[in-house]
Amino acid sequence: LAKTTQPISMDSYEGQEVNITCSHNNIATNDYITWYQQFPSQGPRFIIQGYKTKVTNEVASLFIPADRKSSTLSLPRVSLSDTAVYYCLVGDINPGGGNKLTFGTGTQLKVEL
Amino acid sequence: GAVVSQHPSWVICKSGTSVKIECRSLDFQATTMFWYRQFPKQSLMLMATSNEGSKATYEQGVEKDKFLINHASLTLSTLTVTSAHPEDSSFYICSALAQETQYFGPGTRLLVL
């Protein structure tokens, strides 16, 4: 599974757009890119998933360049409630097991007034 | 859609006892579920892959006789921590696979005294 690298932390203010980039140089052909949000003492929450180009849903956008060696999660207008840890997970899940699903360190986003 | 539940949400037990944690996919069937462990201020670590009707696949360093996994139906996987010790105290999180996406449960906080 592709190892991921993210910034450890980011700070922002309410109403700002936040972009969090994840590097995954060893991404494989069949790998998808998935972003999760985690609050303390809760399970990760699915935000968005993509394979290439751009994906947008009601909460975020995901930008993936042509070489797919990185991806950027874009949160359009953050609020205090977006303060959380954000993880990118890259992989092609093999239901047969032997998966190396490795979460990176994640990015602690802190949003202030 | 894609809701995963866990029970219990927290449990306190004495050292040497066994604890069972349930993971259920509420609105979809999941052939594959995953079990993670997360220590404070750390990322999620995959423990094992649970496949319905077959033996679980454990990650290196995870004792299969200590962490018993049973995936008896397409909506239920259980993790039993046998002969629990204080060092097993952690946050245990399951996820269920729907197509290429993992959906996570809310987690179970285990405290072993």
- Best A99, A102, A108 residue to mutate vs chain B (most B CBs within 10 Å): A99
CA distance A96 to B32: 8
Residue A95, pLDDT score: 56
Q: Which positions ≥6 away from B42 have C-beta within 8 Å?
A: none
Residue of chain B whose alpha carbon sits nearest to that of A95: B32
- The helix, strand and coil proportions of chain A, stated in percent and rounded to the nearest 5, come to 5, 50, 50
Confidence of residue B38 (pLDDT cuts 50, 70, 90): very high
Q: Using the 8-state DSSP alphabet, how is residue A7 labeled?
A: -
DSSP 8-state code for residue A41: T
Q: Cβ contacts (< 8 Å) between B4 and chain A: which residues?
A: 43
Instruction: Give yes or no for residue B18 having a pLDDT over 60.
Output: yes
Checking if the pLDDT of B22 tops 80, the result is: yes
Please report, for residues A5, B50, B58, B79, B87, the alpha-carbon distance to residue B66 in angstroms, rounded to integers and kept in the order given: 32, 15, 11, 10, 13
Least trusted range by pLDDT, from A49-58, B31-40, B46-55, B59-68: B46-55
pLDDT reported for residue A100? 63
Select the residue of A41, A87, A95 nearest B91 (Cβ to Cβ): A41
Under an 8 A CB cutoff, do B49 and A98 touch?
yes
Q: Which helix (H) or strand (E) holds A56?
A: strand A53-56
Taking phi over 0 as left and psi of -120 to 50 as alpha, with beta for the rest, A47 belongs to alpha
The pLDDT-based confidence of A43 (bands split at 50, 70, 90) is: very high
Q: Taking CB atoms and an 8 Å limit, are A99 and B34 in contact across chains?
A: yes
Q: What pLDDT is stored for residue A31 in this prediction?
A: 87
CA B65 to CA B81: how far, in whole Å? 9
3-state secondary structure of B42: coil
Can you tell me the mean pLDDT for B38-43? 93
Q: Which tokens is A95 given? A: 């239901």
Give me chain A's average pLDDT, please: 91
- Higher confidence at residue A24 or residue A100? A24
* Mean pLDDT, residues B37-52 taken together: 92
Q: Is A89 helix (H, G, I), strand (E, B) or coil?
A: strand
Q: Render pLDDT for B57-113 as a digit per residue (tens, 0 to 9).
A: 999 899 999 999 999 899 999 999 999 999 999 999 999 998 878 999 999 999 999
pLDDT at A61 over 60: yes
Contact status, residue B63 vs residue B82, Cβ threshold 8 Å: no
Per-residue pLDDT of A70-108, as tens digits, reads 999 999 999 999 999 999 998 876 655 555 667 888 999
- Give residue A28's pLDDT: 87
Cβ-in-10-Å burial (0-12, 13-18, 19+) of B36 comes to: buried
**Averaged over B35-62, what is the pLDDT?**
92
Q: With an 8 Å Cβ cutoff, are A87 and B93 in contact?
A: no
